[in-house]
Structure 1
């Protein structure tokens, strides 16, 4: 099952939308390029097990 969520690019500060595969677990980490500046962001995804709300924190990838 997939859902969409928004995150803010760690480099340019622009909002991005990404797909989150809910079947991959309640905590996930992966790298995705910003749709605006094309720089890589480390995404830390947390899914609430009751409401399925998605929280995404970002960090720089060197």
Structure 2
């Protein structure tokens, strides 16, 4: 199950929409900013039903 989410790039500040895949439980993964192409670290937290609880985005160097 995927959910559309809007995130802010921690590098350039651009806002973009992406899809969060909640079917695999809690995850940590990288996705590049659609504008500046820097790697953004995503921390995805979901509940036991696969519903998105929290999405944190960080710079790769944090």
Aligned residues: 61
TM-score of the aligned structures, taking structure 1 as reference length: 0.77
Q: Mind listing any 5+ residue stretches in structure 2 that lack a counterpart? A: none
RMSD (Å), alpha carbons: 2.0
Measure, in 2, the Cα distance between the counterparts of 1:14 and 1:21.
21
Asked whether 1:8 is paired with 2:11, we answer: no
Q: Mind listing any 5+ residue stretches in structure 1 that lack a counterpart? A: none
List structure 1 segments (4+ residues) > 3 angstroms apart after TM superposition. none
